[in-house]
Amino acid sequence: MGKLLSALAIGIIGAGIVHIVILFLLPSVAENGPWQRLDAAAGHYTFVSVNRADGAASPTIRPIHPFFYEAACRFDLRDGVVHIHAPGRVPFWSMSVYDKSGENIYSLTDRTATDGDLDLVIATPAQLIEVKKDIPTDFEKSIFVETDTGKGIALVRSFVPDDSWAPGMDRYMKSLVCQSG
């Protein structure tokens, strides 16, 4: 009886340890995370549509924002800085930068941007020092985002107030550029 009780007690303590281990390991080993889902859809530096307001595209990321078109692009800062831009104006856009595990590390809206244009450069602190020594003409109006995350995801969300906006917003999302260097 004593042995059984001690076995139960050790089991419960073990369950606590397993609980904590799983909890902290899950983000790094999850096979169903945003990064892995995007990996299955496209390579780096390609914008993938993850949400169309009409739900037409097969969702890689749960589309929980009706009225929005969303597109995501994966990048790796070891290849150099990332430049994300799109021509034209839309009623509202917002953008988030996530690290590989899907944690939000930076977000902004069109109110923050120069003239409301989407034009953003993501770089590590070291790369940013290099870039700022002699800012290329391409980056003149860009917002600089400093992060040392290495691999990450940039997600652009664009508001579609009603269906009459859909064709124009579709063109806007297709014109998004995500390029390295």
Partner 1 sequence: MFRNLLLTLLTFCIAIGGGAASVWYALDADDGFDALHVGAWTAFPDLGTTKASPYAKAAAARDGVLALGHAEGIRFIASRDSAGRPLSVACTYRVAGNTPPARFWTLFPADPHSLMPLKAKPGLPGKLQSWAVLRQPDGSFAVTVGPHPAPGNWLAINGGGGMTLALTLYDTPAATSSEVGSLELPRIKRVGCDG
For partner 1, the binding residues (CB under 8 A) are 3-4, 7-8, 10-19, 21-24, 26-28, 30, 32-34, 36-37, 61-67, 72, 92, 94-96, 98, 101-109, 111-112, 153, 155, 157, 159, 161-162
Nearer to partner 1, 36 or 175 (CB): 36
* Residue 33, SS3 per DSSP: coil
Contact indicator for 110, 144 with CB cutoff of 8 Å: no
Give the 3-state secondary structure percentages of the chain, helix then strand then coil, rounded to 5.
Answer: 35, 30, 35
| Residues counted in the chain | 181
What minimum distance in Å lies between the beta carbon of 87 and partner 1?
22
Nearer to partner 1, 112 or 114 (CB): 112
Nearer to partner 1, 38 or 121 (CB): 38
What minimum distance in Å lies between the beta carbon of 137 and partner 1?
27
* Pairing mode of beta strands 143-146, 118-123: parallel
Instruction: Give the whole-angstrom CA distance, residue 106 versus residue 82.
Output: 14
Nearer to partner 1, 153 or 178 (CB): 153
Contact indicator for 25, 132 with CB cutoff of 8 Å: no
What minimum distance in Å lies between the beta carbon of 54 and partner 1?
11
Nearer to partner 1, 61 or 118 (CB): 61
What minimum distance in Å lies between the beta carbon of 139 and partner 1?
21
What minimum distance in Å lies between the beta carbon of 126 and partner 1?
21
Say if residue 147 is exposed, middle or buried (CB neighbours under 10 Å; 0-12, 13-18, 19+): middle
